[in-house]
């Protein structure tokens, strides 16, 4: 089976719980066709570079997929007609990365810097 990295953007006004429901819905589509979803990462609500369908922000989610092409095509078809999904991109890859994606590493680094700043501020007082 082929390996894919898939990122989709959900509208800004849907809840985080609804994004999780979308991931589970598409997991069902992939698994019904004999594939599997490995790692999923919720990257958060981020600003868009330009407006898409009157949205200035979107919920970003990454899924690592191992499935036949037909399963991915069906998932993309369903995403295309879902009003909550505003964009998606699927890329075929040679292998999946085991470590966190660059987006998640950036988030962890930013949190570490924030904690260090707070710790220094507390030490000064």
Per-residue pLDDT reduced to its tens digit, 32-67? 999 999 889 898 898 999 998 899 999 999 999 999
Contact 64, 40 (CB under 8 A): yes
pTM of the model: 0.77
The parts of the chain modelled with pLDDT lower than 70 are 105-107, 109, 125
* DSSP assigned state of 45: E
Rounded alpha-carbon distances, angstroms, from residue 57 to 9, 53, 107: 9, 11, 17
Percent of the chain with pLDDT over 70: 92
**CB 46: neighbour CB atoms within 10 A?**
12
């Amino acid at each position: 089976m082929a390996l894919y990295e898939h990122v989709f953007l959900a509208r800004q006004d849907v809840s985080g719980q609804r994004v999780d429901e979308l991931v589970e819905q598409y997991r069902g589509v992939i698994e019904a066709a004999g594939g599997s979803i490995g790692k999923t990462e919720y990257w958060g609500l981020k600003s868009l570079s330009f407006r898409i369908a009157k949205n200035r922000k979107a919920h970003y989610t990454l899924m690592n997929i191992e499935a036949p092409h037909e399963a991915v095509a069906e998932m993309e078809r369903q995403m295309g007609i879902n009003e909550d999904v505003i964009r998606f991109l699927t890329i075929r890859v040679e292998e999946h990365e085991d470590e966190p994606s660059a987006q998640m590493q950036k988030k962890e680094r930013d949190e570490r810097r924030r904690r260090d700043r707070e710790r220094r501020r507390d030490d000064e007082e």
